[in-house]
Structure 1
Amino acid sequence: MTSILTNVAANSALQTLRSINDNLEQAQNRVSSGYRVSEAADNVAYWSISTTMNSDNKALMAASDALGVGAAKVDTAYSTMESAINVVDEIKAKLVTANEDSTDKEQIQLEITKLQEQLSSIAQGASFSGENWMVAGDQTIGTVVDGFIRTEDGVAVTTASYDIASNALFDTIDDGVGTGGLLGDVMDIALTAATTDDELDDYLTVVETALSSLTDAGAALGALTTRIDLQTAYAATLSDAIEEGVSRLVDADMEEESAKLSALQTQQQLAIQSLSIANSSAENILSLFQQ
């Protein structure tokens, strides 16, 4: 039965064309955006996971940037510690020279004084981003960000610490002269013509003690540097893993989508042709009324 009021074939062809157009639009969006899950409506579970992981990854990258700042602070402190060790070595050499009876101890003290001034100078200059771990002042612990983790209660930033109070070169620097700290006793070395061998031995003991303490402090900084370097490498690896995991969930398979797009374009053309045929069937009724 053919009706001029209701074209069942055309309605069916139209529904098919609408469905194909919807699928074609979806495929085109995937090809143009590169995502198969770009919004919650596409896949609620995958969209939720990817949104959370992308947020975590951004926080991880921020933590990596903070690691860079921390590494710079530690490197500054470590370079200062190495310089201080070299200067104290020089003071030690001058004291050994002063053990010779023929030497002028007062002249040697002039050189030691310059070296003591150098110690104060390098400690005062060991500042990065407003922090100086070599002059304790009111500081007790120095901290640097070394990671970002997700826990059952949410997210957290982890830090590594450095004992400034115990490892600073000086407690304070007043008028360019350092006092207290690891080098406070070294700054008290003062040779005169009357300095005895026993006093020189005591000064050498002071220097050896300072060198031992400086070495321990340098080792602590070196360990902190190693930790930061390892965490930086891990953060980069973890970030790549997160990106790859999210990609598996939401990225479109471009080869598959390309094949689908070509097929849907062909289906669209056939559906349009089918609709055209269905619409033209009603026109055939006219031939029944022709003489």
Structure 2
Amino acid sequence: MSIYRRTSVDAALYVLRDIGRSMTETQRQVTTGLRVEKASDNGAYWAISSILKSDQAAQSAIRDALGLAAATMDTANAAIDSSIDLVSQIKAKLVAATESGVDKDKVNDDITQLKAQLRSVSQSATFNSDNWVAIDDADDPSKPREIPASFTRYADGTVSVGTLSYDVDLAPVGLTSSKDARYLIDDRTTGTGEYGVLTSQYFSTEAGASQNYVMLKSAGNTTGQVEIGVSASTTSSQVNEMIAVVDKMLGQMTTVGASFGALEKRITLQNDFAQSLDDSYSRGISRLIDADMEERSSRLTALQTQQQLALQSLNIANATYDTVRQLFQNL
């Protein structure tokens, strides 16, 4: 007679193996904090979370771009504010030059220093090699400045990157005018300085001045242009014309400053929204793939207890089997 079935032992082993598999899975979830780590865990949730993670990374890049743009706008705004103050001082010097008996040459010395500071402020207003108030041959003034501002995934799966724009050339057709002077200095050698408030002769033309007055001469074609300044031979009529031109320049500079301020505000709002989207992505991904750590920890403790009980059951089953086997051996 022989014993060929160990039902109780096999059952105990099956239970122990099943508990071991559950413990391995639960320990992995506790260690990684994820209940969906790979496609085999839950294919649908894994695919959705993978796309969301990719979009979240794109949103992070958008936020970085917005932060860089905000810093650039801060720099440009500082240059505009400083330049408005300097041009206001030049206007005051010109007004002083209308007084009888004033030494216009000395007044012009002050104006010359202020103009030099204007160029210095404009050309040094650079952040990360980007200057929004002075342009040269590397820039196309007719194209808007664009800032990556949003990342959108549509229902059909296509994606797009939205931008915030600072339009420079406001005239859709025809020639440019003083309204197109959206920079402080236009130093393009291919132009006449028309896109820079301080280098454009359009303010003088629109003021009806007798000469093409500019605050600063550009690196382009400056034929017929006259830099604002006074001397002993400057007439009161000419000074008054200069004052009128400078006043028009100040008006356009405040327009540029207001546009920069509005764009900076928009950047701040968009950055706040991008942060909210990032938080939403994080919450959504968490709901899909994160493990409930409290529940998983409790589950692990329970499985460890079950494993101990299963081991005891296996030991009892083996002991019983050995006892029966010994009884039959004595027959």
Q: Do both share a fold (TM > 0.5)?
A: yes
Q: Does 1:146 align with 2:149?
A: yes
AA matched with 2:149? D
Quote how far apart the aligned CAs of 1:126 are: 1.7
Q: Give the SS at the match of 1:280.
A: helix
Quote how far apart the aligned CAs of 1:211 are: 0.5
1:112 aligns to what? 111
1:240 aligns to what? 279
CA contact (8 A) 1:134 1:164 kept: no
- Give a deviation string over 1:143-169, Cα, whole Å, max 9, x none: 222222223343322222223463111
Quote how far apart the aligned CAs of 1:215 are: 0.4
CA contact (8 A) 1:136 1:164 kept: no
Q: Give the SS at the match of 1:15.
A: helix
Deviates more, 1:270-279 or 1:260-269: 270-279
- Give a deviation string over 1:61-96, Cα, whole Å, max 9, x none: 111111121112212111111111011000111011
The change in CA–CA distance for 1:156 and 1:286 in structure 2 (over 3 A counts) is same
Any unmatched runs of 5+ in structure 2?
A: 170-179, 200-213, 217-226
Structure 2 distance, partners of 1:74, 1:192, is 38
AA matched with 2:281? I
Partner residue of 1:225 out of 256, 264, 271: 264
2:163 aligns to what? 159
Q: Give the SS at the match of 1:58.
A: helix
Q: Give the SS at the match of 1:143.
A: strand
2:222 aligns to what? none
2:186 aligns to what? 171
2:73 aligns to what? 74
Q: Does 1:129 align with 2:128?
A: yes
Structure 2 distance, partners of 1:94, 1:147, is 47
Structure 1 distance, partners of 2:2, 2:42, is 43
Deviates more, 1:89-98 or 1:242-251: 242-251
What is the total number of aligned residue pairs between the two structures? 287
Structure 2 distance, partners of 1:69, 1:289, is 86
Any unmatched runs of 5+ in structure 1?
A: none
Quote how far apart the aligned CAs of 1:173 are: 7.2
CA contact (8 A) 2:150 2:161 kept: yes
Structure 2 distance, partners of 1:258, 1:132, is 56
CA contact (8 A) 2:135 2:188 kept: no
CA contact (8 A) 1:88 1:211 kept: yes
CA contact (8 A) 1:186 1:206 kept: no
Quote how far apart the aligned CAs of 1:179 are: 4.7
Q: Does 1:287 align with 2:321?
A: no
Q: Give the SS at the match of 2:37.
A: coil
2:209 aligns to what? none
AA matched with 2:19? I
Q: Give the SS at the match of 2:126.
A: coil
AA matched with 1:272? L
2:242 aligns to what? 203
2:254 aligns to what? 215
Structure 2 distance, partners of 1:45, 1:155, is 21
Q: Give the SS at the match of 1:190.
A: coil
Q: Give the SS at the match of 2:150.
A: strand
Q: Which has the higher contact order (CA 8 A, sep 6+)?
A: 1
Q: Does 1:186 align with 2:225?
A: no
Structure 2 distance, partners of 1:239, 1:3, is 69
The change in CA–CA distance for 1:79 and 1:290 in structure 2 (over 3 A counts) is same
Identity over aligned pairs, percent: 41
Please give the root-mean-square deviation of Cα atoms over the aligned residues, in Å.
Answer: 2.1
- Give a deviation string over 1:74-132, Cα, whole Å, max 9, x none: 12111111111011000111011112112112221121111112211211212222222
Q: Give the SS at the match of 1:252.
A: coil
Quote how far apart the aligned CAs of 1:42 are: 1.2
